[in-house]
Structure 1
Amino acid sequence: MSGDLAPGDNLPSTTRLKARFEASSATVQKALQLLKEEGLIVGRPGAAVTVRPRRQRTMRPAAYMAPADADAPYRWLTEASKHGGRASTKLLDVTETVPPADVAAALELGEGVTALQRRQLLLIDDEPVELVKCYYPLAIASGTALTERRRIKGGTPTLLAELGFPPRLSVDRVSARVPTQEEYSALQLPSSLPVLRTLRVLYSDDERPVEAAVMAKAGHLYELQYEFTAE
């Protein structure tokens, strides 16, 4: 994590690790196994144990809030690809459901009121990296491409802008917590690691909430970068 060993470097031998940390063979082997489970090192039979080829990815959420240009890919795909690797998305389902309480409050929905949910998995080199659930008030989503089980060209910010709801403000609430069973399975997480959960609310004109997204990222693989200017 400190960068003393670069991605792809070999780890010191077990003998050297025992001497450096004054630890037993069993302790060193357990530590290496934990690092493998966390995805920080890679070990194969008959080969040296190496540092994972890439470290934490730094994502800039502000970079993919705006609508994409016509015929351009979803901005997340563009931003994620800048770090190397092939970024892709997989739409899992589109359903009407009662959203979680914090999502309902963010969208200013009454108790028990349903919203449209679009659930998708974001991948890099076919590795799942983020589970995303986007919710929309039915007053906005009904009768639009949002209700169809297909990808939306340019992403939903582009479609919302076309529908007359251009994104004006995005508010993120980020927390670290234990993953749900759904997140654990979808992201193929190692044991005992947290996820970064982001609740992002997108507002259009007149501060109207038009989208609330719940995003779960593997906490050991990602960091988020926010930039601010002094007023």
Structure 2
Amino acid sequence: MPTARDPRPRSQQIAAELRADIMAGDLPPGQQLLSTGELSEKYDASGATIQNALGILKSEGYLEGRPGKGVFVRPNQQQTITPADYATPAAAGQPYAWITAAAERGQRGAYRLLDVAEVPAPVQVAAAFSVEAGSPVIRRAQLGTLDDEPVELVHTYYPADLARGTALAVKRLIKGGSPAVLAGLGLEPASFEDVISTRPPTSEEFVALELPTEVPILRTFRVAVAASGRPVECQVMVKAGHRHEVRYRWPS
């Protein structure tokens, strides 16, 4: 039986090897890469192929060239997400927990509200809310940024009968985020279920997240359930897959 071979161009294969080493920490932030000649020898590839591979990683934000010095791994490559950190409502008058966590890391986090509308429920959302697909739901679309760079596109859905007449249905950012509103309604989420997947980006995601190439996106579909057992919120959170990783802890 013939041995399977990677059909990708050699430059993409080398970029993938280097990317994996960076993401695993084997090439840490600030580390200088081998010279082009040394990389050519290591990977048995031409100098042009090596330069193409490095160009891919530079465009993705993994590497930076320093004139007269060489190519180095850029700092702050991956953002580690711990979902449980953002479930608790913020204290009165405090920003959403995601923004507070960013500040603690020395970053400036913010959300930009893109749209709030009553829309037909997508199939996955309708199933979570136990309603017919196409039933009206309230959708809030937001773009999260860190230090003014887009990092997360979020579509959040609520049952229409729950959200109508509340801040969830108003086209305005919510102090403390949606957990604060749900807590005020006596519907603070008591449990969550995340389904995480990867896929190529849609045009909307590619543009909103300013992706350098068609890198995969990390998609989280989250259902928040109140203590009564009622699902009260569905979120579709999309991030650049090559810049994020998710951390879960057991027991929580």
TM over 0.5: yes
Cα deviation 1:32-83 (Å, max 9, x = unaligned): 1111232211236677432122121111001111111111110111223333
Q: Which amino acid aligns with 2:156?
A: C
Aligned to 2:88: 66
> What secondary structure sits across from 1:220 in the alignment?
helix
Mind listing any 5+ residue stretches in structure 1 that lack a counterpart? none
* Alpha-carbon distance between aligned partners in 1 of 2:128 and 2:102, rounded to the nearest angstrom: 27
Select 1:151's aligned residue among 161, 164, 173: 173
Select 2:199's aligned residue among 158, 166, 177: 177
Shift, 1:97, TM fit: 0.8
Shift, 1:202, TM fit: 0.7
Shift, 1:160, TM fit: 0.7
> What secondary structure sits across from 1:191 in the alignment?
coil
> What secondary structure sits across from 2:102 in the alignment?
helix
Aligned length: 230
Give the percent of matched residue pairs that are identical in Structure 1 and Structure 2: 49
Shift, 1:3, TM fit: 2.6
> What secondary structure sits across from 1:32 in the alignment?
helix
Identify, as 1 or 2, the structure richer in helix: 2
Runs of 4+, deviation exceeding 6 Å: 44-47
Note if 1:120 corresponds to 2:139.
Answer: no
Aligned to 2:216: 194
Cα deviation 1:92-151 (Å, max 9, x = unaligned): 111111132101111222132111110001111111111000001110111111111111
* TM-score normalized by the length of structure 2: 0.86
CA RMSD of aligned residues (A): 1.8
Aligned to 1:109: 131
* Alpha-carbon distance between aligned partners in 2 of 1:14 and 1:159, rounded to the nearest angstrom: 55
> What secondary structure sits across from 2:189 in the alignment?
coil
Aligned to 2:155: 133
Ranked by relative contact order (alpha carbons within 8 Å, sequence separation 6 or more), the top structure is 1
Aligned positions of 1:1-231 closer than 5 A? 1=22, 2-43=24-65, 48-229=70-251
Q: Which amino acid aligns with 2:186?
A: G
